[in-house]
Structure 1
Amino acid sequence: MSTNNTKTNGGGLKSLYLKEDWWAVWIGLGIVVVALILWATGQSGILGALNVKFAGYSDFSGLLPCVTGIFPNAIILYVVLAVIFSIVMGIMGKNVPKFLGGFTLLYVMAILVQILSAWSLAKQFSLEAPVMALIVGIIIGNFVKIPDWFEAGMRTEFYVKTGIVLMGATLPFTLILQSGPVALMQATIIAVSTFLVIYFCASRLFKLEKPFAATLATGGSICGVSASIAIGSAVNAKKEHVSVSISMVVIWATIMVFLLPVVCRALGLSDGASGAWIGTSEFADAAGMAAAAQFGDGAITTFTLMKVVGRDIFVGVWAFILAIISVTMWEKGESADGTRQKPSAGVIWERFPKFVVGFFIASILITVVTLASTPDVAATIDKQVLSPIKGLRGWAFILCFLCIGLTTRFKALAATGWKPFAAFTCGVVVNVALGFLFSTIILNSYWTTVGLG
């Protein structure tokens, strides 16, 4: 079988069990289905054993109860996650012992950052667990050499995609149908504007190669890291250019995760408007979730509508369009190894982020069950099914934020050069400004209402 056939046919079959994108879907939906089955059979208490609660404390005397209170649930959760993830890594051909060692240390760190975030002083400064995980990760990652076996457990994309699928279960599909068009409209206007600004600055002002400019532009306008990888492949960009684009995303995503919440609070924005602005202006799902989580479920809802429903779904479409432009206008003939993929309708599906599919299915599944239930039963579902799912979603994101922090090396980011940074920054200015205009002025009342539920 040729390489291209493997991409087309094998990509449709083998990718179902060889790629993290699909495994995030299987694990996320599997958890949702199991949770519903346990609830329907009266065994929802089993899920309760996976719910690890960290009691708040203000001094050392309250620290011990916080630590001891998480056992044995923390151990049970570790065993369940370690078994599931290790099986998945084994199927994908990864080194399971190395992964398990890295995951174990990462899990211990996740416990520590949640204990820190339960401290009253941390709460006073709005240092919720996701932000605390990012801070701790950045400090360790920039001052301690990370061993190879630990890096094997840092599966950033895998954790965040699984968390997003689980998030779908907590977001009613009726709300997606109602608010999705608005989110799509806002995201389209801002994404197109941001793309054009970055592309123009990169290709015209700073004379960067057009495939490089397109990769930078999509990384800053659509879906961050995932977009950089997908579009970089679609336009046949150099590997180092994709890496630089990812670095730009990481730099600004890290800045925004701290800056946007501060500005939102200073301006007195509602949770809903804050979440929508963050969803429009952040460049990575994980970082955006960390920022939105500081405002509660209302902000998480509007952030998800803007980022996942409004922006992430564009990856496949943009990959298809830019692949055509690349082949017809930028490139001459085949690449040296003859493996460059010709643009076709299949590119849309190949590049489409599969976790978004899982997100929608999870939302539809829970919504159908809830709508078919009485109000009392629906309340039971919320408590016995959705509450544990939210807890697992939180763990997935905290693991992801730790990975982002641990892999963010400021020294390496500084070596990317000023031209890509300048071009990307021009897009950041437009992106944030338009996001603010739409989220807090033009559609402020709308997003505020959505955020209130």
Structure 2
Amino acid sequence: MSHTSVAGNAGNGAAAVRERRRPFGTEDWWAVAVGLFAIVVAYALFASGGSIKTLAVAPARWSDFGALAHDFAAHAGNYLALFAAFAVVFSIAIAALGLPVVRFILGFAVVFVVSALIFALGAWSQASRYNLEPPLIALALGLIVSNVFAVPAWLAPALRVEFYIKVGIVLLGATLPLTLIVWAGPVAIGQATIVSLATFFVIYGVARALKIDQRFAAVLGVGGAVCGVSAAIAIAGAVRARREQASVAITLVVVWAIVMVFALPALSRALGLPTGVAGAWIGTSEFADAAGIAAAQAYGDFARHTAGAVAGAPDASLQAFVLMKVVGRDIWIGIWAFVLAIVATTRWDREEGAEVEAKTSAKEIWTRFPKFVIGFVIASALVTWVASHYTLAEYRSVVTPAFVAPIVALRTWAFTFCFLSIGLTTRFGALSSTGLKPLAAFTAGVVVNVAIGYALSVHVFAPYWLTLGQ
């Protein structure tokens, strides 16, 4: 799935196992619960004539600091209410996962305040001129702080990258009608299948040619072919790779994901790609959900703030990314885990003279399946049902401002928390431990991934992505 810290990755697999065993659910399911709770509350208020617009606060466009200060002062109560709402709901999930709630709230207060300042910078009237899009600002700021200064340990409990991004994706479902998923989903799955297979076999083949262990090669291959960190952890467990091998794969995923979060929007802009096409390319070629969403949202913001610079609806970039990455590629985690677990237990273990302790079952797919995708589909279905009661004109004039737009604002906050956390938990120094052979194998997959993704998005399936959001 998405991104996690490079530092301390060796313990991620064990941590994931411990979290799955918690009596009060997993991070995936709590992200689904939090996202759907927000949507249900928003709809209940909308149906009764109200709205959660008072919570959906963000700085207005400004050109001088006096205007910015006045805007913050005028909406101080809204910001405090939004912080309290996030803190309470998130803390319930944090407590259920057995994590330190007080430490989380203290750290989250800092994350929230910095995120608000990032929003303010993005609302500057000259922001688009200098490419100061909030997702990229959050990521860049976090990277600078974490690699130049020491991030205090008390802040760590609030840097919940995976949790924030999963909540954001569930909320994102409320902005993508189910009809859009049904229409473009098969295209996304088809494109994702081509990319997943091609990238995996290139990385695996190059790794084996470089004499890299077959289990390690499989972890590298799926890490590049599907969705990065979660895929690497899942496959390492499925094929029984060593913990340090999963750590190296995660490091490579993180580094390339960060490179792509800046490179893909810049290349798309230089090529003048329409928003839907660019979003599909980003969804095909990024290695982490969080980084990809930052890239897609930044490109959409560029289209929104510079009218006419690129074709397509601004939201189409993020919609295409989600269809490609969440609907198309992420479902391959369970498939690859299931297939490679069978290969490892029936072939590799026997070749190495190991005993086969247990049979692989179809339940492996469900175990590895990213559960937040279910929340995303439920949210999409709910909004589709709501939209069915209105004409298109009524939906745009009534439903969107009072129901959908506030959810979009909450989604943007969740994504910003995530992007900032990514930067604050990434240490480039860890790359030195990866070695040249794994780097060479993974980079070969990057080249193939980007090239095939471009060809499929810009040429083969362009008719679908061009009309997305229209």
Match of 2:146 in 1: 141
Residue number among 19, 27, 48 corresponding to 1:41 in the alignment: 48
Which whole-Å CA distance do the structure 1 matches of 2:358 and 2:325 have between them? 28
SS in structure 1 opposite 2:247?
Answer: helix
Among residues 425, 432, 437, which one is paired with 1:414 in the alignment? 432
* CA shift digits 1:237-260 (9 cap, x unpaired): 111111111111110110011111
The partner residue of 1:388 within 383, 401, 406 is 406
Over the matched positions of the two proteins, sequence identity in percent amounts to: 49
In the other structure, the counterpart of 1:347 is 364
| Deviation of the 1:66 alpha carbon | 4.2
Q: Displacement of 1:217 after TM fit?
A: 0.8
Show CA shifts across 1:405-425 (max 9, x none): 011111112332222111110
* Structure 1 portions without partners, runs of 5+: 1-6
Paired residue secondary structure (1:427): helix
Q: How does 1:236-275 map to 2 (within 5 A)?
A: 236-275=240-279
Change (3 A) 1:256 1:119: same
Q: Are 2:91 and 1:86 equivalent residues in the alignment?
A: yes
Cα root mean square deviation, aligned: 2.2
- Scaled by the length of structure 2, what TM-score is found? 0.89
Q: Are residue 61 (structure 1) and residue 66 (structure 2) matched?
A: yes
The equivalences for 1:52-451 within 5 A come to: 52-204=57-209, 206-294=210-298, 295=300, 296-332=314-350, 342-375=359-392, 377-379=394-396, 380-450=398-468
For the Cα contact (< 8 Å) 2:59–2:68, is it kept in 1?
A: no
**Are the aligned partners of 2:248 and 2:433 in contact in 1 as well (CA < 8 Å)?**
no
1:21 to 25, 28, 41: 28
Check the 8 A contact 2:34/2:90 in 1, yes or no. no
1:334 and 1:196 mapped to 2: Cα distance?
A: 22
- How far apart are residue 266 of structure 1 and its match? 0.8
Larger mean CA deviation between 56-65 and 72-81 belongs to 56-65
Quote how far apart the aligned CAs of 1:350 are.
Answer: 0.6
CA–CA separation in structure 2 for the residues paired with 1:152 and 1:212: 30
- Determine the C-alpha separation between the residues in 2 that align with 1:334 and 1:359: 42
2:349, 2:356 within 8 Å by CA — same for their partners in 1?
no
How far apart are the structure 1 equivalents of 2:100 and 2:274?
46
Q: In 2, distance between residues paired with 1:26 and 1:339? A: 38
Query: Could you list the per-position Cα deviations for residues 160-209 of structure 1 after superposition, in whole angstroms to 9, with x for gaps in the alignment?
Result: 011001111110100110111111111101110000001111122x2111
> Equivalent residue of 1:329, what SS?
helix
Q: Distance in 2 between the 1:16 and 1:302 partners?
A: 36
- Deviation track 1:279-330 (CA, whole Å, cap 9, x = no partner) reads 1001111111111112231111111111111101111111111110111112
Structure 1 residues 70 and 220: CA distance shift in structure 2, 3 A = farther
Retained in 1: the 8 A contact 2:184–2:464?
no
Write the distance in 1 (CA, Å) between the matches of 2:427 and 2:41.
39
Deviations 1:62-81 (A, max 9, x none): 33234334411111010011
Q: CA deviation at 1:118?
A: 1.8
Residue aligned with 1:331, SS: helix
Work out the number of aligned pairs and report it.
439
Change in Cα spacing, 1:38 to 1:61, as seen in structure 2 (3 Å) is closer
Q: CA deviation at 1:147?
A: 2.1
Alpha-carbon distance in 1 for matches of 2:315, 2:131: 15
TM-score in terms of structure 1 length: 0.92
